[in-house]
């Protein structure tokens, strides 16, 4: 297989686990679920009391179908348990702490045992190998190192497959570009908003990201983004872009990942049980229906979580994938039930607006949604430098086009502000798209 | 007919944007000959006729402005009552529609230019070639 072909069909990190027959997979899942339930019931007082309230003991869970009898765990539960309340092993057996910050209140403390670190690296390794990254690759890791899991977990996984990792972190964008040029970087791990920013910076510096660099692929995560944005990034850099999904509570990135077919992300079901629920009622939905992803960790030691509500909206894609992996896929994250906002009584995800903006010529990559009242949405979009022609009528037309197309998508007609390129804050981590100034 | 170019700058309608532009021009020794500002719906376009338009374009770009260089017709007129009327009469007779226009006064009470933006400048130039209009002269810069 040629090194330049990233579609390395048949490349597996843990082949047996990845193509395991569903019946064996389910037997394995049940075994690990029981172990996990025993562990949390005996070691985590929070779970013991939750189970008792539900009138359950771990022995009552005899099949995977019984899972839905168990109560959910929410991020509020994790905050309430801060700092050590959710720990299922002794502190001496924990080797790492990550936190996942919320916008308000205490962070969530997430602990890793040595085996948890090992497992999370293996999951990332599966993800990298199935998209063609391995020995000989140079991976520039442009996610935030630190309390956020995004960078570190990727780092360990990439080293595990033998890639040369550049722990660049985000920011210092000119240095990022020099690294890519000087070391012949072949892959990078980045947020979509930062990827777009870097690409426009390269163009300003006279570098054609598609021709002047050795990049072959990028792994994009940490923020939900649209298919239009993926295509745009693939086009600008001349690379393959793979979607990844993860959350600190479940090891960080590498929970679900796209294979070379780029059609949904395989969620590693030997490590996580997944359910899709109606976020309002908690009812479990059928495969294929859109709802909130709920995950139960099957192999986490330090801090197993039962039916954890991720707040991420997606759907299960139950069909078999051509790559041969038996782990079901989830669609790209369609939004976070947290990010969803309501204007004029309509449920709106920022991604719907992003999708419209990315399809309009004359608009640059950065945007913001400002909510001042419950009736009005203001969309602030930067105009594209290259398409400015000095004609005010064209800008007025652009303004109307944006407003009309957004209304067609979300029913509500927004007020549109056109901004100078660079007017909005540049995100080097997670982009803040919605500014909610409303008061109840 | 000499070509005259203007610099167009996109700007959000907020305090300090013009001042930033004039500051850059001051530092670079660029002289503003004429300026026009149109604003609507929270943004505007500033059009500038300057003595060093390539330098102005480069410097504004360097400072992150969204800029465009484009050509305008610079039609000479008398800076006295009836001056604009004479010119606009000819344009109207020839069926040329003005998209945007502003004035550069070269010599007060004597001579000025009407800077005219039209949809198709090549065509306008052809149409006006045989008219009595005088166009921009280099020594005026």
Confidence band, pLDDT 50/70/90 cuts, at residue A436: confident
The helix/strand/coil state of B80 is coil
pLDDT score at A103: 45
Supply the range of the domain harboring residue B25: 4-70
Tell me: do B44 and B101 sit in the same domain: no
Are A389 and B10 an interchain contact pair (Cβ–Cβ within 8 Å)? no
B-chain residue closest to A418, CA distance: B43
Beta-bridged to residue A291, according to DSSP, are: A314
Question: What DSSP element (H or E) covers A190?
Answer: strand A187-190
The helix/strand/coil state of B96 is coil
Domain count, chain B: 2
Closest-CA distance of chain B to residue A142, Å: 25
pLDDT score at A162: 96
pLDDT digits (tens, 9 = 90+) for A34-81: 999 999 999 999 999 999 999 999 999 999 999 999 999 998 899 899
Return the closest-CA partner of residue A379 out of A418, A427, A351: A418
Other Cβ atoms within 10 Å of A327 Cβ, number: 24
**Domain end marker among B42, B70, B98:** B70
The shortest CB-CB distance from A395 to any of B43, B47, B64 is to: B43
Query: Mean pLDDT highest for which of A24-28, A373-377, A426-430, B102-106?
Result: A24-28
Pinpoint the alpha helices (H) of chain B: 17-28, 53-62, 83-93, 121-128
Are B12 and A395 an interchain contact pair (Cβ–Cβ within 8 Å)? no
CB B75 within 8 A of CB B96: no
What is the distance between the alpha carbons of residues B64 and A424, in angstroms, rounded to a whole number? 13
pLDDT score at B1: 56
The shortest CB-CB distance from B40 to any of A385, A396, A423 is to: A396
Euclidean distance between the first and final Cα of chain A, in Å?
60
Confidence band, pLDDT 50/70/90 cuts, at residue A228: confident
Return the closest-CA partner of residue A419 out of A341, A367, A356, A369: A367
Tell me: do B47 and B76 sit in the same domain: no
**Domain end marker among B13, B46, B70:** B70
Tell me: do B57 and B45 sit in the same domain: yes
pLDDT digits (tens, 9 = 90+) for B15-74: 899 999 999 999 999 999 999 999 888 899 999 999 999 999 999 999 989 999 999 999
CATH code of residue B38: 3.30.2130.10
A-chain residue closest to B46, CA distance: A390
Tell me: do B61 and B111 sit in the same domain: no
Number of A–B residue contacts, CB under 8 Å = 48
Which residue, among A390, A415, A418, A426, would best test binding to B if mutated, counting the most B CBs under 10 Å from its CB? A390
pLDDT digits (tens, 9 = 90+) for A313-369: 999 999 999 999 999 999 998 877 767 787 877 778 788 888 889 889 889 878 999
| Mean residue pLDDT across chain A | 90
The token pair that represents B39 in the structure block = 């604003």
Tell me: do B81 and B118 sit in the same domain: yes
Tell me: do B28 and B63 sit in the same domain: yes
Tell me: do B132 and B88 sit in the same domain: yes
pLDDT digits (tens, 9 = 90+) for A192-225: 888 988 998 999 899 999 999 999 999 998 777 8
Chain A contact set for B99 (CB, 8 A) = 391
CATH code of residue B92: 3.30.70.260
Are B47 and A390 an interchain contact pair (Cβ–Cβ within 8 Å)? yes
The residue count of chain A comes to 440
Tell me: do B93 and B50 sit in the same domain: no
pLDDT score at B139: 65
Tell me: do B54 and B104 sit in the same domain: no
Residue A1 has pLDDT above 50, yes or no: no
**Domain end marker among B30, B45, B70:** B70
Structural domains of chain A sorted by starting position, each given as residue range(s) with its CATH number in brackets = 1-338 (3.40.50.12780), 341-436 (3.30.300.30)
Tell me: do B93 and B51 sit in the same domain: no
pLDDT digits (tens, 9 = 90+) for B17-26: 999 999 999 9
pLDDT score at A3: 39
In this prediction the ipTM stands at 0.82
Residue A2 has pLDDT above 60, yes or no: no
Mean pLDDT of the region A262-282: 95
Tell me: do B122 and B96 sit in the same domain: yes
CB A126 within 8 A of CB A226: no
Are B65 and A420 an interchain contact pair (Cβ–Cβ within 8 Å)? yes
Closest-CA distance of chain A to residue B61, Å: 10
Tell me: do B99 and B136 sit in the same domain: yes
Return the closest-CA partner of residue A197 out of A175, A166, A173, A227: A173
Interface of chain B against chain A, CB under 8 Å?
A: 6, 8, 10-12, 38, 40-45, 47, 64-68, 70, 99
Site of tokens 């029981």? A34
Chain B contact set for A388 (CB, 8 A) = 8, 10, 66-68
Q: How far is CA A41 from CA A37, A50, A110, A274, in A?
A: 6, 9, 18, 20
Residue A24 has pLDDT above 60, yes or no: yes
Closest-CA distance of chain B to residue A421, Å: 7
The helix/strand/coil state of A422 is coil
What is the distance between the alpha carbons of residues A351 and A356, in angstroms, rounded to a whole number? 9
pLDDT score at A146: 86
Q: Is A422 on the interface with B (CB under 8 A)?
A: yes
Other Cβ atoms within 10 Å of B35 Cβ, number: 17
Lowest-confidence segment of A205-209, A402-406, A419-423 by average pLDDT: A419-423
């Amino acid at each position: 297989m040629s090194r330049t072909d990233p579609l390395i069909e048949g490349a597996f990190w843990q082949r047996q686990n990845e193509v395991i027959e569903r019946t064996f997979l389910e037997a394995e899942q049940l075994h690990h679920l029981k172990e996990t339930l025993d562990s949390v019931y005996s070691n985590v007082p929070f779970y013991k009391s939750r189970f008792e309230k539900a009138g359950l003991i771990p022995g009552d869970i005899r099949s995977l179908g019984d899972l839905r009898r168990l109560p959910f765990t929410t991020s509020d539960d994790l905050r309430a348990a801060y700092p050590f309340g959710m720990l299922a092993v002794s502190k001496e057996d924990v080797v790492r702490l990550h936190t996942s910050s919320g916008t308000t209140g205490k962070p969530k403390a997430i602990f890793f045992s040595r085996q948890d670190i090992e497992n999370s690296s293996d999951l990332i390794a599966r993800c990298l190998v199935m998209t063609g990254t391995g020995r000989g690759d140079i991976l520039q890791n442009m996610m935030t190192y630190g309390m956020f899991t995004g960078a570190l977990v990727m780092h360990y996984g990439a080293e595990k497959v033998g890639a040369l990792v550049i722990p660049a972190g985000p920011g210092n964008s000119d240095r990022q570009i020099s690294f890519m040029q000087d070391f012949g970087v072949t892959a990078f791990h980045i947020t979509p908003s930062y990827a777009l920013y870097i690409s426009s910076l390269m163009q300003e510096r006279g570098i054609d990201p598609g021709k002047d660099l050795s990049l072959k692929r990028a792994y994009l995560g940490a923020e939900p983004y649209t298919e239009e944005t993926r295509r745009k990034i693939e086009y600008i850099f001349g690379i393959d872009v793979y979607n990844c999904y993860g959350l600190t509570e479940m090891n960080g990135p590498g929970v679900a990942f796209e294979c070379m077919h780029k059609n949904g992300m395989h969620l590693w079901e030997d490590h996580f049980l997944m359910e899709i629920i109606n976020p309002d009622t908690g009812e479990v939905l059928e495969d294929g229906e859109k709802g909130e992803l709920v995950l139960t960790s099957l192999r986490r030691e330090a801090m197993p979580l039962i039916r954890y509500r991720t707040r991420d909206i997606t759907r299960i894609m139950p069909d078999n994938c051509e790559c041969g992996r038996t782990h079901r896929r989830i669609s790209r994250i369609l939004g976070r039930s947290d990010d969803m906002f309501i204007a004029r009584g309509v449920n709106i995800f920022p991604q719907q607006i992003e999708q419209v903006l990315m399809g309009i010529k004359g608009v640059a990559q950065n945007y913001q949604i400002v909510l001042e009242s419950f009736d009005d949405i203001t969309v602030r979009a930067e105009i594209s430098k290259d398409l400015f022609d000095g004609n005010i009528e064209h800008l007025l037309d652009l303004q109307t086009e944006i407003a009309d197309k957004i209304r067609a998508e979300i029913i509500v007609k927004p007020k549109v502000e056109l901004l100078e390129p660079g007017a909005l804050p540049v995100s080097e981590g997670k982009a803040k798209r919605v500014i909610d100034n409303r008061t109840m | 007919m000499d070509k005259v170019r203007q610099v167009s700058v996109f700007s959000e309608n907020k305090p300090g944007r013009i001042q930033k532009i004039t500051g850059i021009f001051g530092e670079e020794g660029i002289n503003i000959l004429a300026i026009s500002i149109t604003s609507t719906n929270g943004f505007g376009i500033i059009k500038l006729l300057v003595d060093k338009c390539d330098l102005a374009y480069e410097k504004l770009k360097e400072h992150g402005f969204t800029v465009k260089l484009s050509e305008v017709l610079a039609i000479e007129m008398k800076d006295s009552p009836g001056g604009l009327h004479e010119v606009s009469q000819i344009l109207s007779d020839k069926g040329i529609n003005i998209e945007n226009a502003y004035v550069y006064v070269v010599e007060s009470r004597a001579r000025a230019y009407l800077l005219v933006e039209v949809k198709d400048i090549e065509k306008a130039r052809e149409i006006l070639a045989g008219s009595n209009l005088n166009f921009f002269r280099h020594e005026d810069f």
